[in-house]
A and B are shown apart, each in its own frame.
Chain A
Amino acid sequence: KAGVTQTPRYLIKTRGQQVTLSCSPISGHRSVSWYQQTPGQGLQFLFEYFSETQRNKGNFPGRFSGRQFSNSRSEMNVSTLELGDSALYLCASSLGRGLNEKLFFGSGTQLSVL
């Protein structure tokens, strides 16, 4: 079974641009969560989607948004990019939303904002 797939692997953008990152969960998984990883702030929760609905949101500005499609694939979008948005963005999928669910992480998209 294929793991969580994130595309693209690397992205370089300039300030003010917008970017869309994609995540394909493991087949059969219906929950997708997104995390931002930076050296300074560590791993921070962005949002979680389940059955095409955002179920939980972290403490990020409205420039960060996401969506989930009927096949559970998810995208996140960052508008008006800032230098501080440079980070590794990780996607994780799980079968459901229970506390006991195991999260499977993708390898991430490394975003550099110049």
Chain B
Amino acid sequence: AQSVTQLGSHVSVSEGALVLLRCNYSSSVPPYLFWYVQYPNQGLQLLLKYTTGATLVKGINGFEAEFKKSETSFHLTKPSAHMSDAAEYFCAVSPYNQGGKLIFGQGTELSVKP
């Protein structure tokens, strides 16, 4: 069965610092991987996704993630944090041949200090 583990339920960075949110997955087949962001009292918004091809994926708002098969990881990074990046971030995997179903990690709440 596929699963997703996000390391660290809370991450705090200073404005302008590097953002690194960690995600490891478990999958017996090549996975489709996603990062979503959720702002307070809102639904989820897709940041980026990996399906096939280039392992470095660029998303919206300056975020990017790298798929590393050997490490079963899909960590999310942003070179310079902005106050508006404060939100909850979810890593997710799409089980093979199961349409709209996503398996989410527990989420990481990102705080950005001025």
B residues 17-60 touching A (CB-CB < 8 Å):
32, 36, 41-46, 49, 51
Q: A50-B99, A100-B51, A101-B100 are in contact. Are A43 and B42 (CB under 8 A)?
A: no
**A50 partner residues in chain B, CB cutoff 8 A:** 99-100
**Among B32, B46, B90, B101, contact of A48 (Cβ-Cβ < 8 Å):** B101
A55 and B46 in contact, given A42-B105, A100-B51 (Cβ under 8 angstroms): no
Residues of A within 8 A of B (CB-CB), count: 28
- The residue in chain A whose Cβ has the minimal distance to the Cβ of B46 is A102
Nearest chain A residue, comparing its CB with the CB of B94: A99
Chain A residue contacts of B100, Cβ below 8 A: 31-33, 48, 50, 55-56, 92, 94, 97, 101, 103
A56 touches B98 (CB 8 A): yes
Smallest CB separation, B33 vs chain A (Å): 11
Interchain CA distance A83-B76 in the complex, whole Å:
35
Pick from B98, B99, B104: contact of A42, CB under 8 Å: B104
A8 proximity list for chain B (CB < 8 A): none
* B46→A56 contact, CB < 8 A: no
Majority secondary structure, A binding face: strand
**What class of interface size applies to chain B in its complex with A?**
20 to 34
Query: A65 vs B14: C-alpha distance in the bound complex, in angstroms?
Result: 45
B29 vs chain A, min Cβ distance (A): 11
Asked, given contacts A42-B104, A42-B105, A43-B104, whether A56 binds B44 with beta carbons under 8 Å apart, the answer is no
Q: Which residues from chain A contact B46 at a C-beta distance below 8 Å?
A: 102-103
The residue of chain A having its C-beta at the shortest distance from the C-beta of B90 within the complex is A43
Q: Measured between alpha carbons, how far is A99 from B96 in the docked complex, in Å? A: 7
- Per-residue CB proximity of B78-114 to A under 8 Å, as 1/0? 0000000000001010101111111111110000000
The 5 closest A-B pairs by CB, nearest first: A105-B43, A97-B99, A33-B100, A43-B104, A105-B44
Tell me the B residues contacting A by CB distance below 8 Å: 32, 36, 41-46, 49, 51, 90, 92, 94, 96-107
A and B contact pairs by CB, cutoff 8 A, 5 listed = A31-B100, A42-B107, A45-B102, A103-B102, A107-B42
Chain A residues at the B interface, C-beta cutoff of 8 Å: 4, 31-33, 35, 42-45, 48, 50, 55-56, 58, 90, 92, 94, 97-103, 105-108
